[in-house]
Structure 1
Amino acid sequence: MIREVITYPNKLLREKSKDVMKFDDELHTLLDDMYETMIAENGVGLAAIQVAIPLNILIINLPNEEDIQDKENLIEAINPVITQKDGTQVFVEGCLSVPGFNEEIKRAQHIVVEYLDRNGEKKTMEAEDFLAVAWQHEMEHLAGHLFIENLSIIKRKKFEKEWKRKLKEKR
């Protein structure tokens, strides 16, 4: 089932997500719904808080060389923790919760993440480049932050002004 993606400035996006304690059918349904929603919205990642569920859950599915998101490459991460970060990279990011806005964001180049899969089994993943960006972006959501908070003060003020104008135009 495709769920509604909440958008900025929805206050729920500022909420810190809680750890998952139960690995059951309800969790599996949420993960499946998140995947359907992410694909329907043309995203490469989605945190549960973006569908108004404040749990430490995220999914990532980067496109392959043919620009296809193969479900076999889907990452489902529950209660993820970055255990190591190094290097620096700048990447143009966008967000399903801040539609139509993209900006360069500075992130770690290489990370190591520990997380649980949908069955509660512990996993470790090393990521760099775009995959590392996706992990860090989605994990910010779990902490109650959005990528726009990484902008300089000048860029942030410009964003806020443009965003308010866009919201007025929608009304």
Structure 2
Amino acid sequence: MTEIEYEVREQDLIAFNEHQLEGTERLQKVMRRHQAIMPGIIVTVSLFLFFYFKDMLSAAYVGIIAVAWGIGVPHILRWSWRKQIRTTYSEEEKAAAVGRYTLRVDRDHLVEVTPKGESRIAWGDVLRVEVTKKYAFVFISLDSALIIPRATITRGNFKEFVIKADERIDKAA
């Protein structure tokens, strides 16, 4: 029986939503457009200014704008998405989601212990475990997951927990 204890913060809710967004084709298309396509068009204008009009100063300014666009706009878009994500959660939802959690791998269930009580999730209902550099997401449906931030784990072995959970999910499938 493997067990971990951790704390979920508001920033972890935002990280989960960002993780979900990063996988969408629409978001990838928007990011590609603003990281490569738009700066490429602006650089083309810069090259036109340089070669056709022999205007080095204007070409340099337009080139700097292209680089700034390619670097700055994706950061601004991420900031905007985070802001929108924050507004999707009411204060009650935030209060219900944040706090200390304990997850335990039992033979037939994933046991979640919260200050409000204990709940059991059958392994057949758990879809998968996705591990990133800072988080593990135990998906219980396509758009909801238990968020495990690595930085806030206070007790238990994270790697052992993920391995045991994966084993139980595979056996239940």
> Normalised by the shorter chain, which TM-score bucket?
under 0.3
Name the larger-Rg structure: 2
Higher relative contact order (CA 8 A, sep 6+): 2
Give the TM-score normalised by the residue count of structure 2. Answer: 0.23
Structure having the higher helix fraction is: 2
TM-score by length of 1: 0.23
> Which structure features the higher share of strand residues?
1
